[in-house]
C-alpha cells in the first residue's frame, strides 16, 4: 500500500487569496496616498479605548488527516490513499477592539463560519469516493494585535491568538448520507496573520490575511465507514477578511 504524501495535497491555495488581498491594499493605499499631504482621516480613532466593527471573510479550507494503524491491515487492502481537497467558504461577524497600549490592542470577535471540507478516497481498482463535511460554526476569535507606527492614513499590523468554536445543535448527524464525514461539535484553533489599517474620512477599512490551524481531533470515532483508517482529523484554513470599523 502506497504511503500518502501530504506535501502537495494539504497546503492551501494561497495564490487565490493573496493577490486579492494585495489588490485591496493597493487600491485603498493609492486613494489614501493622495490625501496624506492634505489631511489625516479619523485623527482620534487610535485613542479610543473601545471600538466596534463588522467582518466579512472568504476562505479556503481543508482537513489534515492522520492514518490509523488499522489502515495497513488486510481489511483496508483495497483503499490506496485518502487525499484532502481544498474548498471555499465564507464568514460573517462583528468585533470589539480594546486598546491596551499605543501599539497593542485586544480584539474579541463573534462570527459564523460556513465550511465545506472534502476527503477523496482512492482505491486500488482506480475507483474514487468523496467524503463531505458541511458545517456552520459559531466562532469566538480572541486576538492580540501589534500595530506599526501610523504613516499618514495607513498602518501595518500583525495578529495572533486562539479561536474556540462550536456547531449549533442540528439533526443532520441523525440523517447523514453515506458520503458525509461526521465531525465533533467543538473545535479549537490557533490563528495568526497580518493586515493593514486604511483610514478613510468616515470609517477604517482593514483587509487582513489570517491563517488557522486546528489543535484538536474533530473526527467522530467509528461514526461510519468514512472514519475507518483515520486516527486524527484537524482543520486548516487561510482567510481574507474585510473589516470595517470606526
Task: Encode 154-169: b = buried (16+ Cβ within 10 Å), e = exposed.
Answer: bbebebebebebebee
Domain ranges within the chain, ordered by starting residue: 14-189+212-245
Q: What are phi and psi of 207, to 5 degrees?
A: -75, 140
Q: CA-to-CA distance for 80 and 77, rounded, in angstroms?
A: 7
Q: Using one digit for the tens of pLDDT, what is the confidence trace for 165-187?
A: 999 876 555 555 678 888 899 99
Q: Residue 145: which of 91, 108, 117 has the closest Cα?
A: 108
Encode the chain (246 residues) as per-residue pLDDT tens digits: 333 343 343 344 545 555 555 555 555 555 555 444 468 899 989 899 999 999 999 999 999 988 877 665 544 567 778 888 899 999 999 999 999 999 999 999 999 999 999 998 888 887 888 888 889 999 999 999 999 999 989 999 999 999 999 998 765 555 556 788 888 999 999 999 999 999 999 999 999 999 999 999 999 876 677 887 788 999 999 999 999 998
pTM: 0.81
Task: Encode 122-137: b = buried (16+ Cβ within 10 Å), e = exposed.
Answer: beeeeeeeebbbebeb
Amino acid at each position: 500500500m502506497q504511503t500518502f504524501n501530504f506535501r502537495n495535497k494539504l497546503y492551501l491555495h494561497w495564490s487565490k487569496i493573496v493577490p486579492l488581498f494585495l489588490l485591496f491594499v493597493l487600491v485603498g493605499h493609492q486613494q489614501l496616498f493622495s490625501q496624506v499631504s492634505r489631511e489625516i482621516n479619523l485623527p482620534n480613532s487610535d485613542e479610543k479605548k473601545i471600538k466596534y466593527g463588522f467582518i466579512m471573510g472568504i476562505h479556503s479550507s481543508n482537513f489534515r488527516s492522520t492514518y490509523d494503524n488499522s489502515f495497513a491491515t488486510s481489511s483496508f487492502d483495497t483503499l490506496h490513499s485518502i487525499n484532502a481537497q481544498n474548498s471555499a467558504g465564507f464568514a460573517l461577524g462583528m468585533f470589539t477592539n480594546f486598546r491596551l497600549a499605543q501599539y497593542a490592542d485586544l480584539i474579541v470577535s463573534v462570527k459564523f463560519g460556513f465550511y465545506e471540507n472534502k476527503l477523496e478516497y482512492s482505491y486500488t481498482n482506480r475507483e474514487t469516493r468523496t467524503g463531505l463535511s458541511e458545517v456552520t460554526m459559531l466562532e469566538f476569535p480572541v486576538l492580540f494585535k501589534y500595530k506599526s507606527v501610523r504613516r499618514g492614513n495607513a498602518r501595518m499590523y500583525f495578529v495572533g491568538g486562539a479561536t474556540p468554536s462550536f456547531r449549533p445543535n442540528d439533526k443532520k448527524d441523525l440523517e447523514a448520507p453515506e458520503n458525509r464525514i461526521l465531525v465533533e461539535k467543538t473545535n479549537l484553533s490557533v490563528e495568526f496573520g497580518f493586515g493593514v489599517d486604511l483610514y478613510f474620512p468616515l470609517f477604517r477599512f482593514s483587509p487582513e490575511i489570517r491563517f488557522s490551524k486546528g489543535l484538536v481531533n474533530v473526527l467522530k470515532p467509528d461514526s461510519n465507514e468514512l472514519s475507518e483508517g483515520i486516527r486524527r482529523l484537524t482543520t486548516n484554513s487561510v482567510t481574507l477578511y474585510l473589516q470595517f470599523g470606526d
